[in-house]
Amino acid sequence: MPTTDQLCINAIRFLAVDAIQKADSGHPGAPMGMAPVAYVLWDRFLKHNPADPNWPDRDRFILSAGHASAMLYALLHLTGYDLSIEELKRFRQWQSKTPGHPEYGLTPGVEMTTGPLGQGFSSGVGMAIAAKLLAGHYNRPARKTTDHDPSPDRGVPLPRVHEQPGYEIIGHYIYAIVSDGDLMEGISSEAASIAGTLKLGKLIYLYDDNDISIEGHTDITFTEDVKKRFEAYHWHVAGPVDGADLEAVDRAIREAQAETERPSLIICRTVIGCGSPNKAGTAGVHGEPLGEKEICLTRENLAWAHEPFQVPPDVLAHFRQARERGKRWQQVWENKLASYRQAYPKEAEQLTAELEGSLPEGWDEGLDGLFAKQSKPIATRAAGGEVLNALAPRIHALTGGSADLAPSTKTLMKNRGDFGLKDYSGHNLHFGVREHAMGAIANGMALHRGIIPYASTFLVFYDYMRAPVRLAAFMGLRVIFIFTHDSVGVGEDGPTHQPIEQLLGLRAVPNLVTLRPADATETAEAWRVALRRTSGPTAFVLSRQNLPVLDRKVLPSAGGVQKGGYVLWEASSASDVIIIGTGSEVHIAMEAAELLEKKGIAARVVSMPSWELFDAQPAEYRNAVLPPSLKARISIEAGTTIGWERYIGLDGIAIGVNRFGASAPQKVVYEKLGLTAEHVVEAALKLASPRV
């Protein structure tokens, strides 16, 4: 007789196999091989509540090897999440809750979108940072104090011990299943390195060490000693254990939990496609349905006599105990929170608000006047730093840093402490030179909740973190990406550091709002946009070079930034030409407009910091800013001109940089590349005739 454990494991395997077969698409290999490991974790360790997938102190489970999604859906269904068997039958179908790879926000219990290998591994590190930070700030360890009995009956007074209860309000683990592919991706090295440095002891990763990836045996690609590699990162490494040996896996997880300082990697030796007589252990089972014939043989081999999608009642009943356990876990936590609220009312209130993601009242007060007295030109990166530092004392959840460039990106928050071994409640992060992991870690912090993360680097290095920016947008996370040194205006560092196509790259990402403010006042508004935006990330594109501060006493308010584009300046007579600029080039547009006025051409200057916000305005507003009848239009932006046709039309003139930049002082580069008011004037004269 097979044991309940064996039946449960086979239930996971066959739900995955049958769903994949029905869809005629999917990856059965990893679910079949990893089912025992996943089962031990979910059945014996994972602290979760299927009825409330979002309660704050649940353990997080990330399926970093997102291609094994069918296994996750099986686990969610079996343990009683709101995911019916019908949804498993609709695996990978239009509008099902069981898409090809797990998608955050779509399926209850899916903690993040995975599929791009390495992202889950790295965002888990971000979740662990968030948990550690919140624990560092809000948890109250039990304290023992002693005094002496003042009235002993006789003899020496005895010490009395008082025990103050402790509150571990945040105490969960971050678990992940990671595969060969996850560990091959460079991002896992970046993330593992920082996790080891920061001693993120609550991270427990289970590695599906099956020696197989798509192209065959990992002999041909991946021969490093994973154990030594992770030990070198200061991880605790358990195993290799036999992934089919439930007690060995159980022991390894216990050991990992007992290790409170180092993150843990448990190496689980498994057989891909385990149970399939002809396909187990082969690359063929990685990403193709087993086929009817092989499924029959596998059913025989594993003694599974049930029809597709049929789960024996006792097996389901066993899994569904997760509901009762989950209810109790959550209840225990809620009771703890209630008594914490009594002892620490202010902290409890703040924590609750932060977990909800709400901003404290008055968070943006004074932002409008922040630069009222700023008469000297200031780079928008520096202005951004000032805004950040004005907000930081009010918004406790703000947490972030840069990829070793904080002095240049101006993203250090004064007096907010450094997150690290000396202080786990500090809010400045030091990501090291690891842009890719930085992006994924920021995503993990946002996913965890309780934190509003920001991450910064030079715009040209956005290329190193495109995957996590894309995922942040896809998952709808409030992450603030701060990109400085935004154009050829970088100057002497030269073309390697001068972005050309990156801005367009950001604009191409759906659900990402990109903002390139023209001056300090627009930068303050950009921060307002980003913090208010709870349905997706925002990218700031900020200048290295100083820029004049637009005089808002004379010009319209910077509040126009909220609409993405607005009329900044207009000649006294009806406009003959529109000049649209972004960021540093808005000032060139203004200069050109003045020159043009002298030449008898009336220009309107539009500052357009964000295409996405502008496009979202009603047609009425857009037409008021860019009147359809006025076809003489020029755009100026120090980057590729691709895309500007949508605002200037096919007859407009786009001034920009469609080549790699050059190493020279900023002013020279601008002049040589034609980013000048004179060039704009020249273009305007081609489009409009002077009024005599």
In sequence order, what are the residues at sequence separation of 6 or more whose Cβ sits closer than 8 angstroms to the Cβ of residue 293? none
Backbone CA torsion sign across 297, 301, 302, 305 = positive
Strand (E) or helix (H) holding 497: none
Task: Say which entry of ligand TPP, Mg ion, none residue 29 contacts (CB below 5 to 8 A, set by partner kind).
Answer: ligand TPP
Distance CA 578, CA 566 (A): 12
Per CB under 6 A, contacts with ligand TPP among 623-662 are none
Distance CA 149, CA 159 (A): 6
Which residue's CB is nearer to Mg ion, number 158 or number 220? 220
Which residue's CB is nearer to Mg ion, number 210 or number 330? 210
From 666, 527, 495, select the one nearest 610 (Cα to Cα): 527
Given candidates 8, 12, 21, 29, which one binds ligand TPP under the rule CB under 6 A?
A: 29
Task: Say which entry of ligand TPP, Mg ion, none residue 116 contacts (CB below 5 to 8 A, set by partner kind).
Answer: ligand TPP
Do 226 and 209 meet the contact criterion of CB atoms below 8 Å apart? yes
Q: Least distance from C-beta 75 to ligand TPP, angstroms?
A: 16
Given candidates 56, 181, 468, 565, which one binds ligand TPP under the rule CB under 6 A?
A: 181
Task: Say which entry of Mg ion, ligand TPP, none residue 117 contacts (CB below 5 to 8 A, set by partner kind).
Answer: ligand TPP
Strand (E) or helix (H) holding 473: helix 466-475
- Give the residue nearest to Mg ion (CB): 180
Do 661 and 488 meet the contact criterion of CB atoms below 8 Å apart? yes
In this structure, are strands 203-209 and 566-570 parallel, antiparallel, or unpaired? unpaired
Active site residue 435: yes
Distances (CA, A) of 621 to 77, 422, 554, 556, 579: 48, 52, 22, 15, 17
Q: What would the x/- binding string for Mg ion be over residues 211 to 240, using CB under 5 A? A: -xx---------------------------
Per CB under 5 A, contacts with Mg ion among 184-213 are 210, 212-213
- Give the residue nearest to ligand TPP (CB): 181
Judged by CB under 6 A, the stretch of 88-96, 212-220, 369-377, 612-620 that binds ligand TPP is: 212-220
Which residue's CB is nearer to Mg ion, number 212 or number 503? 212
How would you classify residue 564: left for phi > 0, otherwise alpha for psi between -120 and 50, otherwise beta?
left
Q: Least distance from C-beta 29 to ligand TPP, angstroms?
A: 5
Given candidates 210, 276, 502, 514, which one binds ligand TPP under the rule CB under 6 A?
A: 210
Contact call for residue 668 and ligand TPP (CB under 6 A): no
Per CB under 6 A, contacts with ligand TPP among 265-284 are 272
Which residue's CB is nearer to ligand TPP, number 77 or number 286? 286
Cis preceding-peptide flag for 240 (omega within 30 of 0):
yes
How many amino acids of this chain bind ligand TPP (CB under 6 A)? 18
Backbone CA torsion sign across 222, 227, 230, 236 = positive
Contact call for residue 486 and Mg ion (CB under 5 A): no
Q: Least distance from C-beta 517 to Mg ion, angstroms?
A: 46
Neighbours of 366 (CB within 10 A): 12
Compute the CA torsion angle 502, 508, 511, 517 (nearest 10 deg): 50
Judged by CB under 6 A, the stretch of 43-51, 177-185, 318-326, 632-640 that binds ligand TPP is: 177-185
Do 398 and 454 meet the contact criterion of CB atoms below 8 Å apart? yes
DSSP state of 43: I
Q: How far apart are the first and last CA of the chain?
A: 100
Which residue's CB is nearer to ligand TPP, number 121 or number 371? 121
Q: Least distance from C-beta 46 to ligand TPP, angstroms?
A: 21
Task: Say which entry of Mg ion, ligand TPP, none residue 680 contacts (CB below 5 to 8 A, set by partner kind).
Answer: none
Bridge partners for 143 per DSSP: 164
Helix, strand, coil percentages (3-state) for the chain, rounded to 5, are 45, 15, 40
Q: Least distance from C-beta 370 to Mg ion, angstroms?
A: 53
What is the three-class DSSP state of 541? strand
Judged by CB under 6 A, the stretch of 209-217, 253-261, 561-569, 570-578 that binds ligand TPP is: 209-217
Task: Say which entry of Mg ion, ligand TPP, none residue 612 contacts (CB below 5 to 8 A, set by partner kind).
Answer: none
Per CB under 6 A, contacts with ligand TPP among 86-125 are 115-117
* Angle of CA points 486, 414, 424, to nearest 5°: 105
Q: Least distance from C-beta 434 to Mg ion, angstroms?
A: 24
Which residue's CB is nearer to ligand TPP, number 74 or number 134? 74
Which residue's CB is nearer to Mg ion, number 210 or number 484? 210
Given candidates 131, 135, 212, 653, which one binds ligand TPP under the rule CB under 6 A?
A: 212
Contact call for residue 179 and ligand TPP (CB under 6 A): yes
Tell me the backbone φ, ψ of residue 223, rounded to 5 degrees. Answer: -115, 5
Q: Least distance from C-beta 118 to Mg ion, angstroms?
A: 14
Q: Least distance from C-beta 212 to ligand TPP, angstroms?
A: 5
In sequence order, what are the residues at sequence separation of 6 or more whose Cβ sits closer than 8 angstroms to the Cβ of residue 60? 111, 124, 127, 172, 173, 174, 175, 448
Distance CA 646, CA 612 (A): 12
Task: Say which entry of Mg ion, ligand TPP, none residue 286 contacts (CB below 5 to 8 A, set by partner kind).
Answer: ligand TPP
Per CB under 5 A, contacts with Mg ion among 81-110 are none
Given candidates 43, 59, 180, 519, which one binds Mg ion under the rule CB under 5 A?
A: 180
Which residue's CB is nearer to ligand TPP, number 289 or number 450? 289
**Which of 354, 435, 525, 612 is an active site residue?**
435
Distance CA 596, CA 600 (A): 6
Tell me the backbone φ, ψ of residue 252, rounded to 5 degrees. Answer: -65, -40
Q: Which residues are catalytic?
A: 435
Q: What are the residues binding ligand TPP (CB under 6 A)? A: 29-30, 65, 67, 115-117, 179-181, 185, 208, 210, 212-214, 272, 286
Where does this chain bind Mg ion (CB under 5 A)? Answer: 179-180, 210, 212-213
